[in-house]
Amino acid sequence: MAPRTLFDKIWDQHVVRELADGVALLAIDRVFLHERTGSVALKGLAAAGRPVLDPARVFCTMDHIVDTFPGRGDATRMPGGEAFILETRAAARAAGIRVFDVRDPQQGIVHVISPELGLALPGATIVCPDSHTCTQGALGALAWGIGSTEAEHALATGTLRVKRPRRLRISVEGRLAPGVTAKDLALFILARHGVAGGDGFVVEYAGSAVRALDMEARMTLCNMATEFSAMTGLIAPDEVTFDYLRGRPYAPQGVAFDAAVAAWRDLAGDADAVFDREIRIDAAEVPPMVTWGTSPQHAVGIDSAVPAAGSSGAAPEAHARALSYMGIEAGQALASLPITAAFIGSCTNSRLSDLRRAAAILRGRRVAPGVRAICVPGSMSVKRAAEAEGLDKVFTDAGFEWRESGCSMCFFAGGESFGPRERVVSSTNRNFESRQGPETRTHIASPETVAASALAGHIADPRRVARPEAA
């Protein structure tokens, strides 16, 4: 057999039947749903009188619209939001689907809880009507976002009709500098290769700097493959992956786990496998990054100035529009821009390690006056684990709100927002116009940069905040 990549092996294992023109009928191992877009899929299916083929492999969570205020119930800040929760719950129950419901101790953002529960596994095909499903590729799964109609297809048939993508490898060699994270690497790739850079491809992240990332950092990196316009991103499973999965509730247990690991070891691409395109990145070149504009590719090193038209890669009108929306001017130093809000959360950066790194910067300090700071753990399990370490105290002592888990203000559901023209430094993944609220100005960065900026009251380089233990 010709040498194959990780992607090829997963693909081949799932082909139920070849259809025309490079399209295959692929078996789908896991379907995830949430109340924002899964609800409508379940409703469509029920209306068509089509049953869910295998409800045991379908999972549903309440994360997008659900409130994140302490003591929450089904009522939401979003007008009409409660109906989404009630309808999703009823439809999922009727279909026999496990729901990680509002008060479930395992509730959380879908892409956080799936790996955490051992639902996402190496070599699995995973879909969800949510673009950031690519996050789960970090485990060596083929996980991608689809629409609601395709979700109906996956639910009803256990398959999807998929056009085979081309293969792109992004090799990151060397070591990320201290204070530089997977988030900075993801933004660096977008800044250098553009938001359409992965169009038509499935991206395998490889190289020594990627292998050196822990599991949660790998999820952060894969999370932004959709911002790259790729079908998805994935990373070959290795000991880091297997150690992470061991003992997780839905992962195989005991001898079954060992048997699975033996199979998962064979998933890594063959040494001489060929990719359709290769990108190489020197890890040492990557600085802490922050976005200045309204596209994730509008990212620069945190020491940089807002780029001038022509140097940003954006068309002149798009550049001008982004500057005007963001209320900034070319040439302005990013690291001095005053902020009014700081947000730590989202499927990109809301896991325990993210909160630990942010807390290390916040410990014993206070958020600058006039800055509204919020931390939203990615799942109730993350929240409990953080509280067991006292991290909640670090956040609240610093002046952060400490929330229940969910997507919260990663996106504007129609309820809570930061407000027009408020400037937010955010550990999320999208800085589109009005993403976090009508006319809200979003600067995406790592949780460290969000924490450092919250303390300073302006965008700030986390490497310049002296660590108390080092002082």
Partner 1 sequence: MEPLREITAVAAPLLRDNVDTDAIIPSREMKTVSKTGLADGLFAGWRYTAIGGREPDPSFVLNQADFSGARILLGGANFGCGSSREHAVWALHEYGIRAVIAPSFAPIFAANCIRNGLSPVRLPADAVAALAAHVAVDPRSRPITVDMLRCEVRAAAVDGAAALRFPFTFDAESRDMLLEGLDAIDLTLKHRADIEAFLIRDRSARPWIHLGRHNPDRST
Residues in touch with ligand SF4 (CB under 6 A): 63-64, 109, 111, 130, 132, 346-347, 407, 410-411, 428-429
- Contact region for partner 1 (CB under 8 A) — 39-47, 345-353, 369-377, 395-403? 39-47
- Closer Cβ to ligand SF4, 243 or 432, answer by number: 432
- Closer Cβ to ligand SF4, 64 or 441, answer by number: 64
346 binds, among ligand SF4, partner 1, none (CB under 5 to 8 A by kind): ligand SF4
Rounded to whole angstroms, how far apart are CA atoms 425 and 449? 8
Least separation in angstroms between residue 64's CB and ligand SF4 is: 6
Rounded to whole angstroms, how far apart are CA atoms 133 and 120? 10
- Closer Cβ to ligand SF4, 132 or 357, answer by number: 132
Tally of CB atoms within 10 A around 147: 13
Interacting positions 125-154 with partner 1 (CB under 8 A): 129-131, 145-150, 152-153
Which residues, including other chains, have CB under 8 Å from residue 157's CB and lie 6 or more apart? 53
Least separation in angstroms between residue 138's CB and partner 1 is: 18
40 binds, among ligand SF4, partner 1, none (CB under 5 to 8 A by kind): partner 1
Least separation in angstroms between residue 470's CB and partner 1 is: 40
Least separation in angstroms between residue 80's CB and partner 1 is: 5
Least separation in angstroms between residue 52's CB and partner 1 is: 12
Least separation in angstroms between residue 294's CB and ligand SF4 is: 16
- Closer Cβ to ligand SF4, 114 or 181, answer by number: 114
Strand partners, 33: 60
> What does DSSP assign to residue 378?
S
Return the closest-CA partner of residue 350 out of 235, 417, 249, 429.
429
Name the token pair of 453.
């900026």
- Closer Cβ to partner 1, 258 or 278, answer by number: 258
- Closer Cβ to partner 1, 49 or 369, answer by number: 49
For residue 177, state whether it binds partner 1 (rule: CB under 8 A). no
347 binds, among ligand SF4, partner 1, none (CB under 5 to 8 A by kind): ligand SF4
Interacting positions 283-302 with partner 1 (CB under 8 A): 295
Interacting positions 221-280 with partner 1 (CB under 8 A): 226-227, 229-231, 249-253, 256-257, 259-260, 263
Strand partners, 361: none
Rounded to whole angstroms, how far apart are CA atoms 124 and 146? 16
Task: Report phi then psi at 160, rounded to 5.
Answer: -140, 150
Name the token pair of 416.
């809570």
410 binds, among ligand SF4, partner 1, none (CB under 5 to 8 A by kind): ligand SF4
- Closer Cβ to ligand SF4, 219 or 326, answer by number: 219
- Closer Cβ to ligand SF4, 125 or 429, answer by number: 429
Least separation in angstroms between residue 376's CB and ligand SF4 is: 9
Count Cα atoms within 13 angstroms, Cβ side, for 26.
29
Q: Which one of residues 1, 2, 49, 56 is an interface residue with partner 1 (CB under 8 A)? A: 56
Q: What would the x/- binding string for partner 1 be over residues 71 to 90, using CB under 8 A?
A: -------xxx--xx--xx--
Q: Which one of residues 317, 331, 364, 466 is an interface residue with partner 1 (CB under 8 A)? A: 317
Return the closest-CA partner of residue 132 out of 52, 42, 228.
228
Rounded to whole angstroms, how far apart are CA atoms 177 and 286? 8
Instruction: Compute and round to an integer the Cα radius of gyration of the chain.
Output: 21
Task: Report phi then psi at 108, rounded to 5.
Answer: 170, 180
Burial of 354 (0-12, 13-18, 19+ CB in 10 A): buried
Least separation in angstroms between residue 4's CB and partner 1 is: 17
58 binds, among partner 1, ligand SF4, none (CB under 5 to 8 A by kind): none
CA-based angle 265:32:107, to the nearest 5? 100
Rounded to whole angstroms, how far apart are CA atoms 223 and 181? 13
Q: What would the x/- binding string for partner 1 be over residues 386 to 425, using CB under 8 A?
A: -------------------------xxxx-----------
Which residues, including other chains, have CB under 8 Å from residue 331's CB and lie 6 or more apart? 305, 306, 308
Q: Are 218 and 182 in contact (CB under 8 A)?
A: yes
Rounded to whole angstroms, how far apart are CA atoms 74 and 370? 31
Which H helix or E strand runs over 34? strand 30-34
